[in-house]
Every structure is written in structure tokens, then in C-alpha cells.
Structure 1
Amino acid sequence: MIKLENVTLRVKQIRGGRYGDFCVGELFHECCELKVKDSLLDQFEEGEYHGTVWISRIFLHQYIAFGKAVTEMRATLHDMQLDSASDAPVETELAEPDPLLESPSLTSQTPVWSAPLPAPSTESKTEGSTRLGEQMRERIERIKRNPGQPTQAIAQASSVEDVGQVDTPDLPEVLREYWDQIRGLQPVKLDPTVDRSMLREQTKAIGQLGSYKFVFQDQTWHPK
């Protein structure tokens, strides 16, 4: 793991892509300049962010886009601790290609440095499923105890579902894992390790609720 302090992460939003808007980043440090195209950036607003990052991998990446062959040094982020933000300067350079469209047949990745990867584990998924089941059972028990008086969380659930049905019909399904948190107006931290297209859909859906705002300091959606 490499820790870099006093870095500037410049996030640029590319609009109107085939699979929706997406973000790419540039990492500036006194020792290096690196491209960052991790999926977690898709939750960020365009701008410059300052703080500390932990890098798990640095590699040379090549791809073909807009009739050109591009070679760049990329970094894979393990974690970030961002303290402040500012507006990024307006750039007029050619738009970046969507990472979802990078075909393996047209790209190559040459490792420069990478941290040892831990053994895969299903513990977190199992714990998440168990926790969700327990929360569902608790909510059902509350309804049984007060059949004529819905709790505040259930009332909020109704309004959230109504918003989803009017604006984004697929919202409940996309955010199914976070239903209980949203209905209780609790902070929601999306999982950046899921499929990138899914994370984009979740980001769009929770943003359209109108009751949540992304806080870059802890990369979590908080109720307004």
C-alpha cells in the first residue's frame, strides 16, 4: 500500500455518455501525476479535492479512442481521506472515453506496482444479507404491534416509494439493499466494488430522491 499526503484529486465529469454521465480523475502529488478512473469517482461532483489517498496499484494503461492510441499511468485507489474541495479549472481538451467501453482486446495493462491482494471472502455479503433479514423481521413485528399506527419509518418509506414510482420506476430495485436505511433517513454508503454500471444507477437513483446529498469527506450519502 502506498500512502500519499497533500494530494490534489481533480475530478472531471463527462456528460452524455452512452451509459450515462461518468467521472474521471487526475491525481497530482509532488512525486507524480496519475490518472484515476475508479468507479467510486462517479459519485463525486466535478471539482478539485485535497487530502490523503492510499494506492493499491499503479500500472501503465494503453487504449485506443477517438482515432488515437493513448498511454497513461493509472492508479487504483484503496481509500481516500479528503479534507477540502475547490472548483476545478475549466478544460477544453477532448472528452475522455467511458471506462465501461474499454474493450480488453484494445487495451493493455502493464503493472508498475501493486499491493498484495487479500483472499476473497464472502463474509461481508453474508453479514449484509443477515442484517437485512433481521431488519425486515423487526419492521414486520412493529407493524403487528401497532396495526393502525404506522411508524415514522414506514410513513417515510411510502413517500420514498412514491418518488421512485414517479421519477424512476426502477429505483426500488436498484436500491433494494439500502431500503431500510433510506426509509429511516439514515446515511447510505454505496458499495464501490459492485459493477460500475450498477453503481452509476444507484448514484443516479439516490440523487433523484432529493433528500440525500453526497458528502465527499466520508464518501457517504447523508440526509439533507
Structure 2
Amino acid sequence: MATTSAPEQSVSPIIVPGQLTLRTIRGKNGPFTVGRLVTPIGKFAVKDAELEQYPEGKYDGEFIIRYIFPKSYPVGDGMRFEIRANLDGMTLNGIDKLSRDEARSFATQDVDPLDEELGTQPAATPAKSAKASTPAKHAPVQASADPLVDTTPFGVDAPTPAAAAAPGSTEDGDAALFGLLWPLGESVKLDSTIDRRALRAQIARLGELGFALDFKTQEWSRQAELQPA
């Protein structure tokens, strides 16, 4: 069972410059995003739901840290310990692609934040599963049966979550999926405080509907292009 110290919330959030590095990992629930924030006051893991919207890469900007807390959770036959930062907002200035080494610096045996929220812990990784074949670039990507093993080769986009995660692709299904945001306008800003599984389904559906995220405005726009780095 993972243990978490109670977050210590400061009197007021701290605003710091820094660089947020995001990596997309595939698990049993589909792709999920983990982050690493490097600031003048320290280096932190970040797994806020807000980050689910952003493609992997390195983002420079200013970050509002709500609180910092230690976190531990089981990984394989042991435990992982990290210091996490919970964000209250951010202003992003630019994005750079991850190098292969930077992508590999992230642990592939990371726990999906959705599993943490649901209180489920994946089973330990079988030793034989570590020998996974690497498909060629642009070849169909098949997920590992183990939720902690990222079998997506670097540079290949992971597929969107299963269609079953969304209520449906019809207008009625979209209305149920987006709730108060429906009908969608030319731009939409998602509410990251909703259930994380529903948020992922909204993100996947927006992509199917031809929306793209502008990370600077943090809004999805129809047929929009991402701002240049």
C-alpha cells in the first residue's frame, strides 16, 4: 500500500521559474503523463491531472507551487520515493523535444496517477516481461500486458485511449462526455479537476474532432496549430 505524507500547504503559493519535462508512458489505462519540474528551490515529480493534455517535451516557464510533499509507492519488488509538487497554475513560454537520453531518464515502471487515485496498485513486473521487442518506427504499437512496462518506442506516438472510455462518438455521446462544455465552440478549456478518466476521454475526443492544444493559452482550438517554440 502506498504511503503519502499529508501535504503541507503554505500560507500562499510559491511562484518560481523552472523547466517542466513531460514524458508519456503507456499503461493498462492507456497513455499517461508524468512530469519532472526543475526549479531554483529543488527538483520535483509532478503528476497533476492538468498535465494529461500536454504532449511530451521540455517546457520553460513560471510555475505556481501549491504544496510539496513526499510520496512512496511500490515498484516491482521494492519501493520508490519521490518529492512531488502540486501546481496551482503555470505560464509556459516554449517547448523543446526530448532527446532519447532524456526520455530514457524517466522510469518506465512509473505508476499511473489514475491507479493511485483509484487506490489500486499494479502487480510486480515479471522478470521475463523485461525482454520486450521494439517495433519499427510508425509500426503498430502493442501495449505490454504489464501496466508498468512502457513498450512504446521513443518517437512513436501512443494510440489514444480505447473508444470504450468515452460515452460514444455520436452527438449524444459527446454531450454526455463534455457536459457543460457542450456544444463545443471554436475553442474550449478543459476542467482538470474532473475525474481523470473522464478528462482523458475528453482529450482523446477533442483530437478526433480536429482540435489541438495551444499550450501557451492552455486552450483547445478547432483546427489550431501549436504555437512555435
Indicate the residue corresponding to 2:69 in structure 1.
Answer: 59
- List alignment gaps of at least 5 residues for structure 2: 1-12, 122-167, 224-229
Q: Distance in 2 between matches of 1:64 and 1:20?
A: 20
Indicate the residue corresponding to 2:158 in structure 1.
Answer: none
Cα drift, residue 198 of structure 1: 1.1
After superposition, the Cα gap between the structure-2 partners of 1:105 and 1:195, relative to the gap in structure 1 and judged at 3 Å, is closer
Contact 2:59 2:93 in 1 (8 A): yes
Indicate the residue corresponding to 1:13 in structure 2.
Answer: 24
Q: Are positions 1:97 and 2:111 aligned together?
A: yes
Please give the root-mean-square deviation of Cα atoms over the aligned residues, in Å: 2.1
Contact 2:174 2:182 in 1 (8 A): no
Contact 1:164 1:209 in 2 (8 A): no
1:175 partner SS: helix
Q: Name the count of aligned residue pairs.
A: 160
- List alignment gaps of at least 5 residues for structure 1: 107-162
Indicate the residue corresponding to 2:4 in structure 1.
Answer: none
Q: Distance in 1 between matches of 2:98 and 2:41?
A: 21
- TM-score norm. by structure 2 comes to 0.64
Name which of 39, 56, 72 aligns with 1:46: 56
Indicate the residue corresponding to 2:214 in structure 1.
Answer: 215
2:60 partner SS: strand
Cα drift, residue 104 of structure 1: 5.0
1:35 partner SS: strand
Cα drift, residue 43 of structure 1: 0.4
Q: How far does the alpha carbon of each residue in 1:90-128 deviate from its partner, in whole angstroms, 9 at most, with x for none? A: 23343311011126597xxxxxxxxxxxxxxxxxxxxxx
Contact 1:14 1:95 in 2 (8 A): no
After superposition, the Cα gap between the structure-2 partners of 1:97 and 1:33, relative to the gap in structure 1 and judged at 3 Å, is same
Match runs of 1:1-224 below 5 Å: 1-5=13-17, 7-15=18-26, 17-90=27-100, 91-92=103-104, 93-102=107-116, 104=119, 164-165=169-170, 170-180=173-183, 182=184, 185-210=185-210, 212-224=211-223
- TM-score norm. by structure 1 comes to 0.66
Q: Distance in 1 between matches of 2:56 and 2:78?
A: 25
